[in-house]
Amino acid sequence: MARYAEQTSVPSEKSRAEIEATLRRYGADGFMYGWEHGRAVVAFQMNSRRVRFDLPMPDSSDPAFTETPTGKERAAAQAEKAWEQACRQRWRALALVIKAKLEAVESGITEFEDEFLAHIALPSGETVGQWMRPQIAESYRSGGMPSLLPKPG
Protein backbone atom coordinates (compact mmCIF):
# COMPACT_ATOMS: atom_id res chain seq x y z
CA MET A 1 0.00 0.00 0.00
CA ALA A 2 1.29 3.44 -0.89
CA ARG A 3 2.04 5.92 1.89
CA TYR A 4 0.42 9.31 1.92
CA ALA A 5 2.72 11.88 0.25
CA GLU A 6 5.48 9.34 -0.35
CA GLN A 7 6.51 11.22 -3.49
CA THR A 8 6.04 14.75 -2.12
CA SER A 9 8.45 17.47 -3.12
CA VAL A 10 7.32 19.78 -0.28
CA PRO A 11 10.35 20.49 1.94
CA SER A 12 10.08 19.49 5.61
CA GLU A 13 10.57 23.13 6.62
CA LYS A 14 7.51 24.15 4.60
CA SER A 15 5.40 21.45 6.23
CA ARG A 16 6.50 22.62 9.70
CA ALA A 17 5.59 26.19 8.76
CA GLU A 18 2.22 24.98 7.46
CA ILE A 19 1.56 23.21 10.77
CA GLU A 20 2.35 26.41 12.67
CA ALA A 21 0.09 28.49 10.39
CA THR A 22 -2.72 25.94 10.72
CA LEU A 23 -2.46 25.99 14.50
CA ARG A 24 -2.51 29.77 14.54
CA ARG A 25 -5.55 29.84 12.23
CA TYR A 26 -7.47 27.48 14.53
CA GLY A 27 -6.60 29.50 17.64
CA ALA A 28 -3.51 27.99 19.25
CA ASP A 29 -1.86 30.40 21.66
CA GLY A 30 1.54 28.74 21.75
CA PHE A 31 3.74 26.69 19.42
CA MET A 32 7.16 25.06 19.52
CA TYR A 33 9.23 22.73 17.43
CA GLY A 34 12.44 20.86 18.15
CA TRP A 35 14.26 17.62 17.54
CA GLU A 36 16.40 15.09 19.41
CA HIS A 37 17.51 11.47 19.15
CA GLY A 38 15.76 10.52 15.93
CA ARG A 39 12.51 12.32 16.56
CA ALA A 40 11.00 15.70 15.91
CA VAL A 41 8.65 17.30 18.40
CA VAL A 42 5.78 19.63 17.63
CA ALA A 43 3.94 21.05 20.61
CA PHE A 44 1.26 23.65 20.99
CA GLN A 45 -1.10 25.12 23.52
CA MET A 46 -4.79 25.39 22.75
CA ASN A 47 -8.02 25.22 24.77
CA SER A 48 -5.96 25.40 27.98
CA ARG A 49 -4.19 22.17 27.05
CA ARG A 50 -0.63 21.45 26.02
CA VAL A 51 -0.44 19.03 23.14
CA ARG A 52 2.69 17.26 21.89
CA PHE A 53 3.31 15.16 18.83
CA ASP A 54 6.51 13.11 18.85
CA LEU A 55 7.33 12.41 15.22
CA PRO A 56 9.75 9.49 14.83
CA MET A 57 12.19 10.27 12.07
CA PRO A 58 13.76 7.61 9.88
CA ASP A 59 17.28 6.46 10.65
CA SER A 60 19.57 7.63 7.84
CA SER A 61 21.69 4.49 8.26
CA ASP A 62 18.71 2.19 7.64
CA PRO A 63 19.35 -0.16 4.69
CA ALA A 64 16.12 1.15 3.13
CA PHE A 65 18.17 4.27 2.36
CA THR A 66 21.74 3.00 2.12
CA GLU A 67 21.00 0.03 -0.15
CA THR A 68 19.13 -0.42 -3.41
CA PRO A 69 16.16 -2.82 -3.51
CA THR A 70 18.57 -5.46 -4.85
CA GLY A 71 20.92 -5.01 -1.88
CA LYS A 72 23.69 -3.00 -3.51
CA GLU A 73 25.18 -0.05 -1.64
CA ARG A 74 23.80 3.32 -2.69
CA ALA A 75 26.01 6.32 -3.26
CA ALA A 76 25.97 8.69 -0.26
CA ALA A 77 24.10 11.39 -2.21
CA GLN A 78 21.42 8.90 -3.30
CA ALA A 79 21.06 7.54 0.24
CA GLU A 80 20.63 11.07 1.59
CA LYS A 81 18.07 11.87 -1.09
CA ALA A 82 16.02 8.75 -0.20
CA TRP A 83 16.23 9.58 3.51
CA GLU A 84 15.15 13.19 2.93
CA GLN A 85 12.17 11.94 0.91
CA ALA A 86 11.09 9.78 3.87
CA CYS A 87 11.43 12.78 6.20
CA ARG A 88 9.33 14.95 3.87
CA GLN A 89 6.65 12.25 3.77
CA ARG A 90 6.40 12.13 7.57
CA TRP A 91 6.10 15.90 7.87
CA ARG A 92 3.35 15.99 5.23
CA ALA A 93 1.48 13.22 7.07
CA LEU A 94 1.73 15.09 10.38
CA ALA A 95 0.48 18.30 8.75
CA LEU A 96 -2.51 16.37 7.40
CA VAL A 97 -3.29 14.74 10.76
CA ILE A 98 -3.20 18.00 12.71
CA LYS A 99 -5.26 19.86 10.12
CA ALA A 100 -7.87 17.07 9.96
CA LYS A 101 -8.19 16.91 13.76
CA LEU A 102 -8.60 20.66 14.08
CA GLU A 103 -11.17 20.78 11.29
CA ALA A 104 -13.13 17.92 12.88
CA VAL A 105 -13.26 19.92 16.13
CA GLU A 106 -14.13 23.18 14.34
CA SER A 107 -16.92 21.46 12.39
CA GLY A 108 -18.48 20.04 15.56
CA ILE A 109 -17.77 16.43 14.59
CA THR A 110 -15.79 15.77 17.74
CA GLU A 111 -14.44 17.52 20.85
CA PHE A 112 -10.89 18.87 21.23
CA GLU A 113 -9.98 16.50 24.08
CA ASP A 114 -11.37 13.49 22.22
CA GLU A 115 -9.40 14.33 19.08
CA PHE A 116 -6.08 15.12 20.79
CA LEU A 117 -6.35 12.97 23.95
CA ALA A 118 -3.37 10.71 23.28
CA HIS A 119 -1.15 13.75 22.67
CA ILE A 120 -2.15 15.93 25.64
CA ALA A 121 0.91 16.47 27.83
CA LEU A 122 0.62 15.52 31.49
CA PRO A 123 2.46 17.30 34.32
CA SER A 124 4.93 14.36 34.36
CA GLY A 125 6.06 15.24 30.81
CA GLU A 126 4.49 12.14 29.34
CA THR A 127 1.58 12.32 26.96
CA VAL A 128 -1.70 10.67 27.92
CA GLY A 129 -1.02 8.02 25.27
CA GLN A 130 2.45 7.21 26.65
CA TRP A 131 1.02 6.98 30.15
CA MET A 132 -2.01 4.89 29.19
CA ARG A 133 -0.57 2.33 26.75
CA PRO A 134 1.00 0.12 29.43
CA GLN A 135 -2.14 0.39 31.56
CA ILE A 136 -4.37 -0.59 28.66
CA ALA A 137 -2.17 -3.62 27.93
CA GLU A 138 -2.29 -4.60 31.62
CA SER A 139 -6.05 -4.08 31.72
CA TYR A 140 -6.54 -6.47 28.81
CA ARG A 141 -4.09 -8.96 30.34
CA SER A 142 -5.66 -8.91 33.82
CA GLY A 143 -9.25 -8.03 33.02
CA GLY A 144 -9.07 -5.18 35.58
CA MET A 145 -9.41 -1.44 35.12
CA PRO A 146 -6.38 0.90 35.05
CA SER A 147 -5.78 3.28 37.95
CA LEU A 148 -6.71 6.97 37.82
CA LEU A 149 -4.51 9.68 36.35
CA PRO A 150 -1.66 10.85 38.59
CA LYS A 151 -2.25 13.90 40.76
CA PRO A 152 -0.98 17.08 39.02
CA GLY A 153 2.08 18.76 40.45
Enumerate residues 6+ apart whose C-beta is below 8 A from 3: 89, 93
pLDDT single digits (tens) 17-73: 999 999 999 999 999 999 998 999 999 999 999 999 999 999 999 999 999 989 999
- The secondary structure of 45-68, three-state, reads EECCEEEEEEEECCCCCCHHHHEC
Q: Has residue 84 got a pLDDT over 70?
A: yes
What pTM was estimated for this model as a whole?
Answer: 0.90
Residue 122 DSSP label: P
Rounded CA-CA distance 77/35 in Å is 23
Question: Distance between CA atoms of 112 and 51, rounded to whole angstroms?
Answer: 11
Mean residue pLDDT of the chain comes to 94
Residue 149 has pLDDT above 70, yes or no: no
